[in-house]
Amino acid sequence: MKFLIAGLGSVGRRHLRNLLSLGEKDILLFRTLQSTFPDDELAGLPVETNLNAALAKQPDAVIIANPTALHLQVAIPAANAGCHLLLEKPISHSMEGVDLLESALKQGGGNVLVGFQFRFHPGLIQAKRWLDDGQIGRPLSFRAVYGEYLPSMHPWEDYRQSYSARQDLGGGVLLTLCHPLDYARWLWRILPK
């Protein structure tokens, strides 16, 4: 299987390390060369700086881990090319263009998985089992507290310049820290049909 990774910040690099640990070797990097990370970890891996050129190499799957406001700029062409997508959460910083992504997935035939990894957390999986089995009664309310201290999130860069702190890149609490909005819906099966 051939993979394309778009976005080589902390999450994109985690996906890269995971693929390498699984023995995957056919990996192409799509880079804008704006990352704040050192490049040593990426040495020896093929790089494209043009998305059309990267997609012309026919990847089977594209991991989209660039800033939220740039997700659809990669996701729509990749979906049109028939690629499967692992799209980091949230899908975008606005609803504009989400319908185009849906159409592109239908046209291209690929699938999309949005990266809400808390659905795989052992504690939440156990809570879901108890809820589904009725072992803890009927929930009457729910409260989730989730937060990050921005200067600690990416200690290698000035947090004020990171995508998490920049609304123009799709950052901000509601978008960057949206995991509880997802897992609350998952726990109580309040998912769209």
Residue with tokens 């059309």: 52
Any domain includes 192: no
In the predicted structure, residue 174 carries a pLDDT above the cut 70 = no
Total of domains in the chain: 2
State the CATH number of the domain containing residue 51. Answer: 3.40.50.720
In the predicted structure, residue 116 carries a pLDDT above the cut 60 = yes
Which of the listed ranges 19-23, 39-43, 139-143 does the model predict with the highest average pLDDT? 19-23
Percent residues over pLDDT 90 in the chain: 53
User: Long-range CB contacts (< 8 A, 24+ apart) of 101-110?
Assistant: 101/72, 101/75, 101/76, 104/75, 104/76, 104/77, 104/79, 104/80, 105/79, 107/79, 107/80, 108/79, 108/80, 108/81, 108/82, 108/83, 109/82, 110/78, 110/79, 110/82, 110/83, 110/84, 110/85
In the predicted structure, residue 193 carries a pLDDT above the cut 70 = no
Tell me what pLDDT residue 76 has.
Answer: 98
Q: What is the pLDDT of residues 63-110, one digit of tens each?
A: 999 989 999 999 999 999 999 999 999 999 899 999 999 999 999 999
What is the DSSP secondary-structure string of 11-55? HHHHHHHHHHHTT---EEEE--S--SS-SGGGTTS-EESSHHHHH
Of 100, 115, 130, the position where a domain reaches its end is 115
Is 111 in the same domain as 20? yes
Of 64, 82, 115, the position where a domain reaches its end is 115
- Select the more confidently predicted residue: 161 or 67: 67
Range of the structural domain that residue 162 is part of: 118-187
Q: What number is the average pLDDT over the span 133-159?
A: 81
Do residues 2 and 58 touch, judged by C-beta distance below 8 A?
yes
Q: Which of 3-17, 62-76, 126-140 has the lowest mean pLDDT?
A: 126-140
